[in-house]
Structure 1
Amino acid sequence: MTDRLPHEKGFHIAWDQIHRDSRALAWRLDGRGPDDGAWRAIVAITRGGMAPAMIVARELDVRVVDTISVKSYNNQEQTDAVVLKAPDSDLMGDGTGILILDDLVDSGKTLELVRKHYPNAHFATVYAKPKGVPMVDTFITEVSQDTWIFFPWDMALQYVEPYRGTDA
């Protein structure tokens, strides 16, 4: 097996790790909402933001959860970000009191697009790459720009060749 993914580095996240990191994000966000520290609602950027949003909503006891669907990848190739489904407009307003969550900020294009619609929302991600850091208000872990993050919902267990060398 000699074929490799086109990405130089891979960072594999297991379900227990995304759960721990999402809980850490919730703790960092606790008390930072504008309504006596509370958030009016959480909006998950689909699809990657859905698992972290569920965990953060549980930890912070936020019962109103909606989604915004943004397509910015075609498989593993980045494309122009496009909103496919917007959250309830009465809920959103200009974003005040809304916590918008995603799993990762990469180039920042997705968050830039969403921020144009909801400029007063608070943007949080579990993971962040350097190009995207300016677009996110709160995150837990920064990884290098050339790292490809493999999330548990994208993986199946299988053999993987060593990064360097093929000797057994």
Structure 2
Amino acid sequence: MSTQLPHEKGFHISWDQIHRDSRALAWRLDRRGPGEDGAWKAVVAITRGGMAPAMIIARELDIRTVDTVSIKSYDHQTQSEPVVLSKPDPDMVGDGTGVLVIDDLVDSGKTLEVVRRMLPQAHFATVYAKPKGEPMVDTFITGVSQDTWIFFPWDMALQYVKPYSGKDD
């Protein structure tokens, strides 16, 4: 049995796919906020991966108040302990009531755990979720196995790829 590197079991996401999946997440969250009308008061994107989905969700749900929380938890493909680099405006987000916290992926759940301590009443939503991180997220669209590395479109460039057979002719 061979040992695969993280990038060898990859799930490649295109811009079209992240857009479709983020819109699906918005539809799932629509009118599910804590207010009488089910509206959300703000979106907080976890940078950097949560920024594109958060922008799409904010547009779809007509949420004009958007902020970020910046946490570094990866160095290339190596996950480390999360470090908070910047926090959202506390006057805007309070304890998180009525706030959607958006990220592209929950992996181990460590990043969301840090943000949940900051915003305990927020609703946490990710586009993709791995099993270890699922308990930290309230809503997600697609589950992937823990050993799958997700390649997001902002991490890739277009280039030729050989067929699996290895034959180009």
What's the secondary structure of 2:120's corresponding residue?
A: coil
Residues 69-80 of structure 1: matches in 2 within 5 Å? Answer: 69-80=70-81
* Alpha-carbon RMSD: 1.5
TM-score by length of 2: 0.92
The correspondence of residues 4-153 of structure 1 with structure 2, limited to 5 A, is 6-35=6-35, 36-153=37-154
Secondary structure of the structure 2 residue equivalent to 1:63: coil
Distance 1:132 1:161, change over 3 A: farther
Alignment: residue pair count: 164
- Please list the CA deviations of residues 18-62 of structure 1 after superposition, one character each: whole Å capped at 9, or x if unmatched: 000000000000011011200010000000000000000000000
Q: Structure 1 residues 43 and 119 mapped into 2: Cα distance closer, same or farther (>3 Å)?
A: same
- Within 1, Cα distance between the matches of 2:33 and 2:6? 40
Judge which range, 152-161 or 13-22, deviates more.
152-161
**Alpha-carbon distance in 1 for matches of 2:154, 2:22:** 15
Identity over the aligned pairs, expressed in percent?
Answer: 77
Provide the TM-score with structure 1 as the length reference.
0.93
SS in 1 for 2:55: helix
| TM-aligned CA deviation for residue 158 of structure 1 | 1.7
CA offset digits 1:76-99 (Å, max 9, x no partner) = 100100110100010111110100
Gap regions ≥5 residues in structure 2 = none
